[in-house]
A and B are shown apart, each in its own frame.
Chain A
Amino acid sequence: MRAIPLKSFASLAALGLLVTGCGQGLLGGDGDDKAAKTDAPIVLGMLIPQSGSEAAIGPYMSNAAQLALDEINAKGGVLGRKLELKTADDACDAQSAAAAANKLVTEGVDISVGGYCSGATLPTLPIFGKADIPMIIPAANSQELVDQKLKHVFLINGTGSQQAAAAEKWIAKQGAKSVVLMHDNTSYSKDIALRTKALLDAPGGAEAVLVETVTPKESDYSANITNVLAKKPDSVYWTGYFQEGGLIARQLRQAGYKGSFMVGDGSVSPKLIEIAGAEAAEGIYATMTQTPDTLEGAEGWISAYKKKYNADPGPYSNQAYDAVRLAAEAVTKAGGTDGAKVIAALEAVDGFPMFSGPLKFTPEHTLMSGGFQVLVVKGDKFALQDSLK
């Protein structure tokens, strides 16, 4: 299998392969259970936000997952079986997510490849665990997920602690003296902010002078910004999502803030720039894993995505795509969808090529190298500022 398929097959060609790809069907009769089992598609489940505040992200992820699926199926699937994708809406909300996870379990999902909001993903871990379903989590990356120490959970996005380390590194590089951390009280955002603070609290270098919490979904953050400006910081780090991030960036600049403004990976979206307005957005830094824009050699993948969906891939498209490819790889290596075998196969993966680089898991089931880099807003997009290597 090639690292990054640079060609998307026309659907006609895919159909042709579909017809030839079912050689096993000739052997097993309909009543034969075993044959039915080996002919049944391998079902991948994907919990993503399709409604609620983060609804915009869902399609980026499910589209990319479907793209990977089509490419794999066009090549004859996995172990001669087709892959099938079932998505469910977690609404970025813990209760909805638990219900949706149960729904996927009853629908007979073999492997989970979803999870965007950490707060919503957390309660789904035991649900999939009980059902013996390995989880490859493409985006959710709160340290809380790792701290559960569950065998069946694998994170292929850099974690909160890796992101905090990258943020601290960049703050030090800029020579900032006083830093304000802003988060929105969600598990993901608070985690990064507090970890960054812990790193900054070490003697020497910059000092975290304030951790300011904002309420998500508001429009006016002037009260928070008054608090921030009272501390006269050189650098502000926002670890929440892009909707508020754009507003905060704009309102900070309007209030006369001249220092550096940095955001976390939940805010890396063209919408952030649009919401902040070109003037306020220019020069915003971001800690982020690799995105389609900053990847070298992803042009073919981007055009394949565009061709299929008539839209640009967005944040976490590449991780969702990789999650499906990794699931297929693990099932191939495990020789089936047995949970324990797939987990063992995932643990043994070494050097599987992904957008974020060759994959190897740590004993904690996180990426060996977090792969965080610093981007900067130039004009209407995020460009690479520093790879922090």
Chain B
Amino acid sequence: MTQLVWNGLFVGSFYALVALGYSMVYGIIKLLNFAHGDLYMLGAFVGFAVLGAVGGVSSSMALPLLLVVLLATMVLTGLAGVALERIAYRPLRRAPRLSLLITAVGASFALEYGMRAAAGADPRVYPVRLGGTSVEVLGARLTLQQLVLVGVAVVLMFGLNLLITRTREGRAMRAIALDPRTSSLMGIDVNAVISRTFFLGSALAGAAGVMAGAYYGKIDFLMGFLIGLKAFTAAVIGGIGNIPGTMLGGLLLGLLESFGTYWLGGEWRDVFAFGVLILFLTVRPTGLLGERVTERV
């Protein structure tokens, strides 16, 4: 039982990290960025490349080294997200919403198969792995590494929440989400703020990608597809555009999958997850915490 909870929370924290980018971007420009899962994939590969460049470090140094790689990757993936917005989405800012959505799907394929061309179709394996033996806590097996990863995820999420609720930058984001035109009349540089939103969301996805690469070990060019859909589901469950809601949605989806697998068997895991998505879209499209219309991001 506690094992199921822990499994769910661990997977859920990855979902939550990736889902945040979905939510922020949706909140600010009403775009479902379907290429977002591929930014997670990009992060995993960037981390792989950075590790390769640092190279030859003993495994006793694995954790601190990975933290450095994590930061470097977050910056690079964030920049990739900015570039994506600049190239693919900004020219279509005034186009019908559907064109943006189709472009996002196209961007997703471009990232996937671009990576395939660059790195090959074979899965790659991280040179530094977070292995570790498991310890029993309240009847659940967990490793120190898992705890550290969840810790990093929580720190990142709280940092983001502070940034959005307590800083000028965050206020600008919330203002644009509410009314882009008025915001620009009030002297907010709308384009710059949207760029920075993409940077933050992509950096978080990149962080999740590196952590997944270091923990699970295997990365491949299609790894972002499924988690992208799962993150979207998590965002919908919690309330897309709502930051605390999205975090909650990620953890809940992880738990749902974990318990769903236990109750119904493995073949139902995704049926369960996406069934919940359909349920929410039909019954409560605003999600659990809802999109607070007065101040959404």
Contact = CB atoms under 8 A, between A and B. Distances in A.
Interface string A221-233: 0111011000000
Of the listed residues A56, A254, A279, the one surrounded by the most CB atoms of chain B closer than 10 A to its CB is A254
B89 interface: no
Nearest to B129: A277
A256 B141 CA distance: 9
Contacts of A219: 212, 216, 218, 223, 227
A303 interface: no
B141 A275 contact: no
Nearest to A243: B123
A217 interface: yes
Interface string B218-230: 1010110111000
Interface in B135-172: 141, 143
Interface string B55-87: 000000000000000000000000000000000
Interface string B1-42: 001100110110010000000000000000000000000000
Contact of A212 (B131, B217, B265): B265
A243 B10 CA distance: 21
Contacts of B212: 219
A313 to B, nearest CB: 14
Interface in B105-153: 113, 116, 120-123, 125, 129, 131-134, 141, 143
B123 A256 contact: no
Q: Which of B120, B212, B266, B269 has the most CB of A within 10 A?
A: B266
B7 A254 contact: no
Interface string A186-229: 00000000000000000000000000111101111011101100
Contacts of A212: 265-266
B295 interface: no
Given A212-B265, A213-B266, A275-B217, A56 B122 contact: yes
A271 interface: yes
Nearest to B220: A243
A246 B120 CA distance: 19
A185 B268 CA distance: 11
A254 B131 contact: yes
Nearest to A214: B266
Interface in B221-275: 222-223, 225-227, 257-258, 261-262, 265-267, 269-270
A45 B198 CA distance: 46
Candidate in B113, B116, B123 with the most chain A CB atoms within 10 angstroms: B123
A327 B58 CA distance: 52
Interface stretch (A9-17, A47-55, A150-158, A330-338): A47-55
A254 B134 contact: yes
B223 A213 contact: no
Nearest to A50: B121
Interface residues of B, number: 40
Interface residues of A, number: 32
A96 to B, nearest CB: 14
A223 B7 contact: yes
B266 A224 contact: yes
B269 A223 contact: yes
B78 to A, nearest CB: 22
Contacts of A52: 222
A274 B3 contact: no
B118 to A, nearest CB: 14
A64 interface: no
B134 to A, nearest CB: 6
Of the candidates A55, A212, A217, A220, the one having the most CB atoms from chain B within 10 angstroms of its own CB is: A220
Nearest to B141: A255
A250 interface: yes
Contact of B266 (A227, A243, A277): A227
A243 B218 contact: yes
A223 B262 contact: yes
Contacts of B120: 56
B134 A255 contact: yes
Interface string A51-94: 11101101000000000000000000000000000000000000
A271 B222 contact: no
Contacts of A55: 116, 121
Contact of B225 (A217, A222, A250, A256): A217
Contacts of B218: 219, 243, 246-247, 275
A271 B123 contact: yes
Interface string A29-59: 0000000000000000000000111011010
A222 B11 contact: yes
Given A51-B116, A227-B261, A274-B125, A247 B266 contact: no
Interface in A246-265: 246-247, 250, 254-256
A304 to B, nearest CB: 22
Contact of B265 (A213, A250, A279): A213
Nearest to B268: A213
Nearest to B219: A219
Q: Which of A52, A220, A223, A255 is packed against the most chain B CB atoms within 10 Å?
A: A223
Given A215-B266, A220-B10, 19 more contacts: A51-B113, A51-B116, A52-B222, A53-B222, A55-B116, A55-B121, A56-B122, A218-B226, A219-B218, A219-B223, A219-B227, A222-B258, A226-B258, A226-B262, A227-B261, A227-B262, A247-B217, A250-B217, A255-B134
12 contacts: A51-B116, A56-B120, A56-B122, A212-B265, A215-B270, A219-B216, A220-B10, A243-B220, A246-B218, A250-B217, A254-B132, A271-B122
Interface of B: 3-4, 7-8, 10-11, 14, 113, 116, 120-123, 125, 129, 131-134, 141, 143, 212, 216-218, 220, 222-223, 225-227, 257-258, 261-262, 265-267, 269-270
Closest 8 pairs between A and B when the two form their complex, measured CB to CB = A55-B121, A213-B267, A223-B261, A56-B122, A219-B216, A222-B7, A213-B266, A274-B125
